[in-house]
Amino acid sequence: MKKAYLECGKIVNTHGVAGMVKIEPMCDSPEVLADLKTVYFKNGASYTPVTFTRTAVQKQFVLAKIRGVDDFDSAHALRGKILYANREDIPVEEGSHFIADLIGLPVIDEESGEVYGKIKDVRNFGAQDIYMVGTPEGGEFMIPVVAEFVKTIDEEKGVFVHLIEGMR
């Protein structure tokens, strides 16, 4: 079952003295996070909505004013908090997938059907995403997410790949 709420940012600092916060986005771009009007704080198993009254993108961060957070001390108390978004509020391009939906999927050879392992993480070092694959033996290897290697993604069955010699 897919998670209804996904991590979308982390409050890393305050900005000014009027209660604004600086957020490190966990979205495809800071603009995606800045365009959300409602985000959520997780409280145990429940999610509490909070509203952005103003946002601005500053380099790779988002500066946001949260309704009800009106001074430096209130903003400072939020440092380190993770923000969540309702998956329905996040725009997704055709053929794109949420990282949360990829974690744990088996990585399968498209020709032989051999299962190489499971996706443990998705990272980006600048050029493109990289799938971090954990093997059944406890090892790990990386697959660049390019059409040459990643052939098909089926969120029900797995990620079908074509690897070249030496990738594992």
pLDDT tens per residue across span 139-162: 999 999 999 999 999 999 999 999
Contact assessment for residue 19 and residue 70, using Cβ atoms and an 8 Å cutoff: yes
CATH superfamily to which 99-161 belongs: PRC-barrel domain (2.30.30.240)
pLDDT, one tens digit per residue, over 102-132 is 999 999 999 999 999 999 999 988 888 999 9
Look up residue 114 and give its DSSP letter.
-
pLDDT, position 111: 96
Taking CA atoms, 32 is separated from 27, 53, 135, 137, in Å, by 6, 15, 33, 38
The pTM of this model reads: 0.84
pLDDT, one tens digit per residue, over 12-27 is 999 999 999 999 999 9
pLDDT, position 35: 97
pLDDT, position 63: 98
Backbone dihedral angles phi then psi of residue 33, each to the nearest 5 degrees? -65, -45
Pairing of strands 82-86, 150-154: unpaired
Residue 57 pLDDT > 80, yes or no? yes
pLDDT, position 21: 98
Say how far residue 167 (Cα) sits from the centre of its chain. 25
Residue 1 pLDDT > 80, yes or no? no
CATH superfamily to which 5-88 belongs: RimM (2.40.30.60)
Where do the structural domains in the chain lie, given as residue ranges? 5-88, 99-161
pLDDT band at 61 (very low <50, low <70, confident <90, very high): very high
